[in-house]
A and B are shown apart, each in its own frame.
Chain A
Amino acid sequence: MLSTLQPPRSLSLLPLRRLRNSKTIVSAASSTTSVISPPQSQILTTRRSLLSGETTAAEIAKSYLSRIRLTEPQLKCFLHVSENVLKDAQEIDQRIAKGEELGPLAGVLIGVKDNICTQGMPSTAASRILEHYRPPFDATAVKKIKELGGIVVGKTNMDEFGMGSTTEASAFQVTANPWDLSRVPGGSSGGSAAAVAARQCMVSLGSDTGGSVRQPASFCGVVGLKPTYGRVSRFGLMAYASSLDVIGCFGSTVADAGMLLHAISGYDRFDSTSSKQDVPEFQSQFLSVDHFESKPLNGVKVGIIRETLEDGVDSGVRSATQEAASHLEALGCVLTEVSLPSFSLGLPAYYVIASSESSSNLSRYDGVRYGNQVMAEELNKLYECSRGEGFGGEVKMRILMGTYALSAGYYDAYYKRAQQVRTLIRKDFKAALEQNDILISPAAPSAAYKIGEKKDDPLAMYAGDIMTVNVNLAGLPAMVLPCGLVEGGPSGLPVGLQMIGAAFDEEKLLKVGHIFEQTLKGSSFVPPLLANVP
């Protein structure tokens, strides 16, 4: 994920761009009718209707495929739509007819970010260097989804190799935000977020290295869940920065994101960094709102991160976050302000580490064993030309920066130092999470901006990652869920609240997030695009 040049508060080397002032519209200003009842889990709804015989998996699949056909020309979320969706759905129906046991994801339509390997289906990481690559294996996360009955709808668009915040760095297409087609969906998992927002699929997988699940979740008005580092196997996820990468989940509800996470979590012998920690039954957190007590989050300690509400954050985002904090208080939470002194160091430290690790990880794309090859008379020339032509500008830049930071004589000054800063950041988080159950902040300093607005201005682009990168450096779990709308677009633009938990404490995040979502009044997070789409 592309991070950028937000200078620390005390050392302003570069002018901060003042983001446009906007008012919060927390009431349902969308053109769709305001929904009184809380959002329902699509996974559970699908399961109920399949088991009751109300509908078939094939019928559900057809309706989603039809919606994809109608909306894809405008949205461009998918790089590849599977030819086997209907066939997979029919297999589920046959199993139902035979009375066989159904996995918890039976009939659930899932989008998969294109840097996650899917056997026999193109997996390009949105890069020309892998343009026609079809992996010989499924990523572990994909394998688990299939074993549980999930149907992979297709591969979603992203910034090339995860390096970007808008999908504008994709070698193939730019995805549009379903809330306003002239705006970015966020990135790098922009396609996955937009596809869920536009109901082209029920849930989707993304990857999060510096915020690439959480920021697009905020921009598209969906739930984005980043697990603890090691919770989900990275086997089959094309590596960008190995100490930061995780596979994350998108859903239109907290329950959906949580259930998908449960499905893909667990130790994997193919990933030496995957954790042997038990995976709790997340489902027990998703009680129906009718069963909530009057103060369902009584006593839960919430720390609001002071450094995330200072200058440089859009006033609309700040208001939405503060109102979300009030909502949590009304539910019984105890709110305090916390300070993370190392907060602003996260961005440069992240950028050093991510560039360095990516320069190493992307060395495997050499045109020899897979991907596009540019033949040459000499081996080094083959490498240089294959890579020179196959990689986009942003990727090349990152690799060169990483090469520099890791060169002999510079390693201590950059990479090692960034690792030391990482220790400081981890300590700050640990201290804050000893005093609090969760921490909250905005997911991004603004709502979705226009396509092309920041493409030529790396400084402005990078500033957007300030809220998210520290969480990756610390390896903690975090979830973004829509908490309000701000001005912009045909009916407002969604803004997400970020909740950060202690390591391996996704359960608490899901509990708080679910209750928050189910009791949030007044906003419908269905994009206006869907008003005219069946």
Chain B
Amino acid sequence: MATRALLAVIYASPNRCYISPSRIKIQSLTCSSSSHYYQRQSRKNHRIARSYSSDSDSSVLQPPDVARLAQTARISLTPAEIEECETKIRRVIDWFGQLQQVDVNSVEPAIRAEMDGGNLREDAPETFDNRDSIRASIPSFEDAYLKVPKILNKE
């Protein structure tokens, strides 16, 4: 999960809203590391997908580890919640399994409904007028900064 903006440094000049370069660096690290990981996994994917598609039982893929998923999704769950979730999620994932029965050989994945192309805007920043209202929504705000606790590196 990409690291979100931790600090938005709003400079003294009132018409500029500038995201600190350290945030951009963190994001690009995350992106490149995940694509590298994905490449390593792609052969594994093929193996799994092939075995999956020939198996009517949907349990070839690792069942969901709810505690780990919760950590990835940055959601804290009580042990009771984990247990409840686990049962429900497993049933749903099993049910997803029926999609494996479908012959999708040479079918293009559809990202969304068909659309007109070329809806890109100018790569030019615009000022938002109602910045006070944005500031008012920020839970912890001090001077020009959003206040957040420190990050601790995980072992």
Asked if A and B bind, the verdict is yes
- Measured CB to CB, the residues of A under 8 A from B are 5, 7-8, 11, 13-14, 119-120, 133-137, 228-230, 242-244, 269, 272-277, 345, 348-349, 351-352, 359, 363-364, 366-373, 375-385, 387-389, 391, 393, 396-397, 399-401, 403-405, 407-414, 416-424, 426, 458-459, 474-476, 503
C-alpha spacing A372/B81, complex, angstroms: 21
Contact with A along B14-29 (1 / 0, CB 8 A): 0000000000000000
**A400-B73 CB under 8 A given contacts A369-B5, A416-B109:** yes
In the complex, the answer to whether B133 meets A401 with C-beta atoms within 8 Å is no
Are A373 and B140 also in contact (CB < 8 A) when A379-B149, A409-B48, A413-B52 are?
A: yes
Q: A269 CA to B45 CA in the complex, in Å?
A: 38
25 contacts between A and B (CB under 8 A): A14-B95, A136-B134, A228-B113, A229-B115, A243-B113, A272-B120, A352-B96, A364-B4, A368-B5, A368-B138, A369-B137, A370-B138, A379-B148, A381-B149, A385-B76, A389-B76, A393-B84, A401-B89, A409-B48, A410-B61, A420-B104, A420-B107, A423-B108, A423-B109, A458-B91
Contacts of B109 in A (CB 8 A): 416, 419-420, 422-423
Q: A366-B74, A400-B64 are in contact. Are A378 and B152 (CB under 8 A)?
A: yes
Query: Chain A contacts of B72 at CB under 8 A?
Result: 403, 407
| B146:A369 contact, CB within 8 angstroms | yes
Q: Is the CB of B116 within 8 A of A134?
A: no
Cβ B96 vs Cβ A345 within 8 A: no
Q: Within 8 Å of chain A (Cβ to Cβ): is B66?
A: yes
A-facing residues in B71-127 (Cβ within 8 Å):
71-77, 81, 84-85, 88-89, 91-96, 98-102, 104, 107-116, 119-121
How many angstroms from the CA of A335 to the CA of B112 in the assembled complex? 30
The distance from the CB of A423 to the nearest CB of chain B, in whole angstroms, is 4
A413 touches B92 (CB 8 A): no
* Apart from A369-B146, A413-B100: 12 A-B pairs, beta carbons within 8 A: A5-B95, A133-B137, A274-B119, A345-B99, A352-B96, A368-B6, A370-B137, A383-B74, A384-B70, A414-B99, A421-B104, A459-B91
Residues of B within 8 Å of A119, CB to CB, are: 130, 133
> Is the C-beta of B12 less than 8 angstroms from some C-beta in chain A?
no
For residue B121, which residue of chain A has the nearest CB?
Answer: A269
A contact residues around B96 at 8 Å (CB)? 348, 351-352, 405, 414
Please give me the residue from chain B that is nearest to A370 by CB atom: B137
Complexed CA–CA distance, A150 and B98 (Å): 47
Neighbour of A368 across the interface among B76, B131, B148, CB < 8 A: B148
Contact B69 A403 (CB under 8 A): yes
Specify the chain A residue showing the minimal Cβ separation from B112: A243
Q: Which of A345, A381, A400 contacts B85 (CB 8 A)?
A: A400
B residues less than 8 Å from A418 (CB atoms): 99
B74 contacts across to A, CB distance below 8 A: 363, 366, 380, 383-384, 387
Contact of B149 among A348, A375, A411 (CB under 8 A): A375
Question: Distance (Å) between the CB of B94 and the closest chain A CB?
Answer: 8
Minimum CB–CB distance for B141 against chain A, Å: 10
Kindly state the separation between the CA atoms of A5 and B90 in the bound complex, as whole angstroms: 12
Asked if A417 and B102 make an inter-chain contact with CB atoms under 8 angstroms apart, the answer reads yes
Complex Cα distance, B104 from A421, in Å, reads 7
Top-7 shortest CB links A-B:
A475-B113, A136-B133, A419-B109, A388-B76, A373-B139, A243-B112, A420-B104
A349 to B103, CA, bound (A): 14
Q: Is B11 an interface residue (CB 8 A)?
A: no
> Which chain B residues lie closer than 8 Å to A419 at the CB level?
109-111
Which positions 31-72 of chain B face chain A at CB distance < 8 Å?
Answer: 34, 37-38, 41, 44-46, 48-49, 52, 61, 64, 66, 69-72
A226 to B146, CA, bound (A): 39
- The residue that A417 contacts in the complex, of B88, B100, B115, with Cβ under 8 A, is B100
* Least CB distance, A222 to chain B, in whole angstroms: 26
Q: Which of B69, B101, B148 contacts A382 (CB 8 A)?
A: B148
The smallest beta-carbon distance between B18 and chain A, in angstroms, is 15
Q: Is the CB of A404 within 8 A of B64?
A: yes
Q: Which residues of A contact B102 (CB under 8 A)?
A: 345, 417, 420-421, 424
